[in-house]
A and B are shown apart, each in its own frame.
Chain A
């Protein structure tokens, strides 16, 4: 029971760490990584909550299937976000002429 709670708490901590990094980090790759860590936290919490009783007992297959779906979707989201980040870099960095004058502040 307590170990299970530790896993739930770990999931929560991962989510909040990812959330903080998402706000504080400015590099787009770091932001995408932070979103991935947040997703991992949510999955961990979800599966830990589906464990009734104690750790290591076979659990409900429905949450497992949902987390499986979630992992695959988060991979495709990551891939799309990375291509978008590269594209943003290309269009904003490759223009060249106005470099150094008024670089857009894309970070928060």
Chain B
């Protein structure tokens, strides 16, 4: 009975997942697509739980649903903000549609268009069916790397196997991943600038009040997620994502003290995590190899790296949400210098 209901649950999750994906890709309404995308991320997290991957589920819920959705929403806001851009977009689509209609008005054109679509769909379906049959028939004899991880677990200094893989056995990957996040912020900052202190003045005091209560709680959850990464599901990325979500909430509620944060500490915080990780990795060179922690210190070092990286990841993701280099403080300072 129990397994039957679980199987039913699996089916519901899968059908919802595919239905949501279809809807979000098919709907012409961009806002609706974004809301569907966020719910898609949450259902994805359920699927991860069912596949016994709680770390991935936490990351998906926090990053895939919690942060990518706001990223899309703010991008949509900015795209609609440029009126001319929107008109151009409409013109583009009208002309594009006009072209297609012109082609499809002729019977031969219509037939060719239809044939192309059928051909495309047929190709994709054939590929899908072939891959599915391969998946159905393939048999694994390799038990995977889980055995080796379990063997070496004691030496890693942490209890959670996923954290052991992320920060000890495959530390290179995680170091480079954090560098990717940092490079993304650098790229975003060099592409666009935003006027950070611009206020819409449309935030209700109730929202600000709720965020004032919520933000400390979220920061607490973030720190506990980072802390429990050593023995349970969780870690720097999940904690960092919750931290970033708290930051995003505070930014959209336009809390007044946010504008007073000078830019230098923000920049230093952005490189703090990667630098701590890199520094500890290099200091391991003294009596070993790169990123090979000494056995008795491993647990402490991993916790240190997780805390530093969690803070930096949170700030990095929040900066990605801002979507550009905040210019105000620089401009203001320049004006001040000119004035004096």
Contacts and interface: CB of A to CB of B under 8 A. Distances in A.
Contacts of A19: 124
Given A75-B317, A93-B87, A37 B59 contact: no
Grouping DSSP codes into helix (H, G, I), strand (E, B) and loop, the B interface class, with mixed when no group exceeds half, is helix
A12 B136 CA distance: 12
Given A36-B37, A60-B146, A107-B96, A85 B52 contact: no
Interface in B1-53: 6-7, 10-11, 14, 17-18, 21-22, 24-26, 30, 33-34, 37, 40, 44, 47-48, 50-53
B114 interface: no
A84 B219 CA distance: 31
Interface string A1-31: 0010111111011101111110101110110
B64 A40 contact: yes
Interface string B306-336: 0000000100010011011000000000000
B18 A62 contact: no
Grouping DSSP codes into helix (H, G, I), strand (E, B) and loop, the A interface class, with mixed when no group exceeds half, is helix
Contacts of B26: 21
A94 B170 contact: no
B239 interface: no
A18 B50 contact: no
A63 B3 CA distance: 26
A3 to B, nearest CB: 5
Contacts of A43: 56
A102 B84 CA distance: 15
Interface in B176-235: 177, 180-181, 184, 187-188, 191-192
A53 to B, nearest CB: 10
Interface of A: 3, 5-10, 12-14, 16-21, 23, 25-27, 29-30, 32-34, 36-37, 40, 43-44, 47-52, 55-69, 71-73, 75-80, 82-87, 89-90, 92-94, 96, 99-100, 103, 105-107
| Shortest 3 CB-CB contacts between residues of A and residues of B | A93-B85, A76-B184, A61-B161
29 contacts: A3-B7, A6-B11, A7-B10, A10-B17, A10-B18, A13-B128, A18-B25, A25-B25, A33-B33, A40-B21, A44-B47, A47-B53, A52-B144, A55-B10, A56-B50, A59-B53, A61-B149, A63-B144, A64-B56, A66-B173, A68-B59, A71-B63, A71-B64, A75-B317, A80-B184, A86-B192, A89-B82, A93-B88, A103-B92
